[in-house]
Amino acid sequence: MSIVVTSPIVDARPSPCQVLSVPASAGSHYLYRPLVTLTGMTTTTPSAPSPSSVPTTSKDPGTDNRPGRVLAAVLAAQFMALLDVFIVNVAAPTIRTDLHASGAGLQLVIAGYTITYAVLLITGARLGERLGHRRVYLAGLAVFTAASLACGLSQSTGQLIAFRLAQGAGSALLIPQVLSIIQRTFSGEARVRALGAYSAVLATGAAAGQVLGGVLVSADLFSAGWRPVFLVNVPVGVVLLVLAARVLPADGPSPAGRARGLDLPGLVLLGAAVTLFTVPLVLGEQEGWPLWTWLSLAACAVFLALFCGYESRLARRGGAPLISPRLLRAPGMGVAVFRLAAVMAVNAGFLFALTLHVQGGLGYSALRAGLTFAPSALVFGAVGLTWRRWPGALQRALVPGGFALAAVGSLAVGLLLRDGGDGGVGLYAALVGAGAGMALGFSPVLTRALATVAPQDAADASGFLATVTQLGQVTGVAVFGALFLGQLDAPEAPGAYASADALLVCSCALAAAAALGAVSGLVRMRR
């Protein structure tokens, strides 16, 4: 149920009602500028980018620019990158056994992809502006494919973590270009249909990842265990590289891209802050929270302050900061950042802990575990795609109601599984409720937050909130994963009962975090 959110489209400036929406699928997650309808607004087809803001697209004699093939190429890559987030979750227990990974190591395998993806997201989008979307798309796809091969051949937890970081870097180059290419290739009704196909990919990717991961791990192809969940990307990636090189339209740097720098100092400071924050969260519980973990968290605050100060000075000088301070002053942005981080943390922590329980505690096969999560993932996607069509009287209550539903669903899962059983039909009802609640706590918040920013900041705002959602997922895996594993390492009862007790404690913490999101929503609604 976790969501991966993509970066901004930086080659077109939308009108105020052309804000970004997330047709959210479960799991990680992608943010871009599909059409939205807010209360009191009408759905609007994005206008064609002006020549001054978009690099020219030329018909290269060596390419086949038929729109259908262009769409197939970019959406297949989008689907592959999305799949990779969820397919690894199902394989996590097998990876832990085969590589003798510690709990912290396993968390870094899951979260490492998201860390580099989150940090490099905005930079990847700007590289598309500066170098051309086609060129950066191909480079990102090549890096992702090569890193997938390396992941599948890894012989230790350390190697797998390193190559997962490289996978995230490849996605940060690849994914920001997808919708930019769609916007440049299609217009009018064709663009609406292309965005519909894009939304369908997002809505089905999570469920497909869970199920395919279960199939591949359970099949144990060539006695390779978990390795096919990474190696499956290699032939697909090679085919897409050949296809994309043939069909994607040639382009060049945009005038805006030449004018906007990459803000490398800001990138270094943000990367340091993120690393100093995530590493002690992931390793602290296992190491007994030694002094260095607290010093690292304190250093994170220092680097974050340095980052904010540098970004402010760069903005005052007329530069192009990685995150514009003006975004943080947009109405409701602070509350939106809290809500998005909270729902993503709950989402990622819930999925991580429950995956370990059903496979490690209940002994489910990877396939059965994937199928267990599929209804929740599909409901998450369906709610994310349809909430704008719900009655206007419900719109104001969607966010607090969604967080409350997520809290109830998370707690119900822990209670239903507390005796070491499978939870019966009630488990699926609780999972569906949790998935629907998390979708309502995510999509409306993101859409409305982006509606409040100035049109010229819409692209950077999407990148900023995309980074927030990714860091929320990292935090959720680290904090709630450490809580679950900490309870599991000191069991009072063996087997499924110890795992069920650990899950119940984790579910209570998840419900409390979701309740905080509900309270923040109620405060905002009164205002």
Q: What is the mean pLDDT of each run of 10 residues along the chain (527 residues)?
A: 39 35 35 32 36 43 67 86 75 85 82 80 80 90 95 92 93 82 76 67 64 73 81 92 87 62 82 82 75 92 92 85 79 86 88 84 80 80 79 82 92 90 88 90 80 67 73 82 76 64 92 89 51
Phi-psi region of 48 (alpha: psi -120 to 50; beta: other; left: phi over 0): beta
Question: What does DSSP assign to residue 249?
Answer: P
Distance (Å) of CA 152 to CA 205, 226, 260: 21, 8, 37
Q: For the whole model, what pTM was predicted? A: 0.70
Domain ranges of the chain: 61-263+320-526
> What is the model's pLDDT at position 195?
66
3-state secondary structure of 459: helix
> Are 132 and 253 in contact, with CB atoms under 8 Å apart?
yes
Backbone angles phi, psi at 156, to 5 degrees: -150, 165
> What is the model's pLDDT at position 409?
93
Distance (Å) of CA 135 to CA 117, 322, 363: 19, 22, 46
Tokens of 199: 């939304």
Measured distance CA(394)–CA(474) in Å, rounded: 31
> What is the model's pLDDT at position 369?
78
Of 247, 219, 95, 83, give the one whose Cα is nearest residue 157: 95
> Are 90 and 213 in contact, with CB atoms under 8 Å apart?
yes
> What is the model's pLDDT at position 204?
61
> What is the model's pLDDT at position 57?
44
> Are 234 and 152 in contact, with CB atoms under 8 Å apart?
yes
> What is the model's pLDDT at position 394?
80
3-state secondary structure of 251: strand
Give the CATH superfamily of 61-263+320-526: MFS general substrate transporter like domains (1.20.1250.20)
Q: Report the chain's C-alpha Rg in angstroms.
A: 22
